[in-house]
Amino acid sequence: MIKSKTFGSYLSDIIIWTVLLLLTALCFLPLMNMVSVSFSDSTAAQANQVGLLPVNVNFNSYRLLLEDAQFWRSFMISVERVVLGTALNLLLTVLMAYPLSKNTKQFGARNIYMNVMIFAMLFSGGMIPLFIVVKSLGLMDTIWSLILPGAVPIFNVILLMNFFKSIPDSLEEAAIMDGASKLKILFKIYLPISLPALATIGLFSIVGHWNDYFSGLLYMNSSANFPLQTYIQQLNVDVTKITDPSQLKAIASVSNKTLNAAKIVVSIIPVLLIYPFLQKYFTSGLVIGSVKE
């Protein structure tokens, strides 16, 4: 794409870069603040005096964090959940998106399934009945209670289905002539050219599993089994509700702002690492280009 650049092109480059860098800076600030707090003196943090740079740099919170066995246990539970949960999400999403991407002539019951799924996406019976179902299936306190109830991410199914729709039928017809089965067509033809879409919904699943704290709270009876975000959620305590001196110890143990910040920073590192890794699947022109040729 070598072109002689015009003045207008330079100007638009400058504008684009300025806007992007400004937005990036804006998004970097809160994280910067968290990192600074985690390295600061704890009273300075409590006094709300830490901005973008740490005050009296020290590593105490990270030292304490290393000793916090439950934090790391929860961390590993979250990792396990992300791996298993995302795998199951992707498998089911792919399997459902393919038939749904067909029209009613090709797959008669398509619209019925679709409406049922939209209904399931929007309506819910609330948490008590779901809790009772999970409990009566014997899933309480197991990793499966965090994975199975959300096994079908309907939003992702709809996204992938729309992506599959954009793949021309001609590609499939040749394979049908060769007598390939539906599954084979899906896995051998559709998936290889859908990597950017799969990377996107895969990322959504990973993030969804990593960020969710509520199902951990609901389905885990032993706090030793909490996933990371459920553990971190416990750091928010409303001090104004405390009226009894016996609760003082509890506040003292959670109001350690610097340690809390360190926990949050460490909890973000995995998602910080996973994104660049997935980005390599966002290669331009991969999809439709290969189809059209």
Site for another protein in 146-175 (CB under 8 A): 148-152, 155, 157-159, 161-163, 166
- From 14, 47, 83, 87, residue interacting with another protein (rule: CB under 8 A): 47
Residues 80-139 that bind another protein (CB under 8 A): 91-92, 95-96, 98-100, 102, 106-110, 113-114, 116-137
- From 79, 143, 180, 271, residue interacting with another protein (rule: CB under 8 A): 271
- The reply on whether position 79 binds another protein by CB under 8 A is no
Residues 17-36 that bind another protein (CB under 8 A): 17, 19-21, 23-24, 26-31, 33-34
| DSSP result, the chain | ---PPPHHHHHHHHHHHHHHHHHHHHHHHHHHHHHHHHTS-HHHHHTT---SS-SS---HHHHHHHH-HHHHHHHHHHHHHHHHHHHHHHHHHHHHHHHHTS-TTTSTTHHHHHHHHHHHHH----HHHHHHHHHHTT-TTSTHHHHSTT-S-HHHHHHHHHHHHTS-HHHHHHHHHTT--HHHHIIIIIGGGGHHHHHHHHHHHHHHHHH--HHHHHH-SSGGG--HHHHHHTT---GGG---GGGHHHHHHH--HHHHHHHHHHHHHHHHHHHHHHHTT--TTSHHHHHH-
CA pair distance 171, 241, nearest whole angstrom: 64
Q: How far is the CB of 256 from another protein (least distance, A)?
A: 9
- The reply on whether position 14 binds another protein by CB under 8 A is no
Q: How far is the CB of 80 from another protein (least distance, A)?
A: 19
Give whichever of 39 and 210 is closer to another protein, judged by the CB atom: 210
- From 10, 59, 187, 275, residue interacting with another protein (rule: CB under 8 A): 275
How many residues contact another protein, by CB under 8 A? 138
- The reply on whether position 177 binds another protein by CB under 8 A is no
Q: How far is the CB of 42 from another protein (least distance, A)?
A: 8
Residues 205-244 that bind another protein (CB under 8 A): 207, 210-211, 217-218, 221-224, 231-244
- The reply on whether position 286 binds another protein by CB under 8 A is yes
Q: How far is the CB of 270 from another protein (least distance, A)?
A: 10
- The reply on whether position 52 binds another protein by CB under 8 A is no
Phi and psi at 291, nearest 5°, equal -75, -45
Q: How far is the CB of 87 from another protein (least distance, A)?
A: 13
CA distances from 219 to 34, 127, 149, 241, 258 (A): 30, 11, 11, 26, 30
Q: How far is the CB of 150 from another protein (least distance, A)?
A: 8
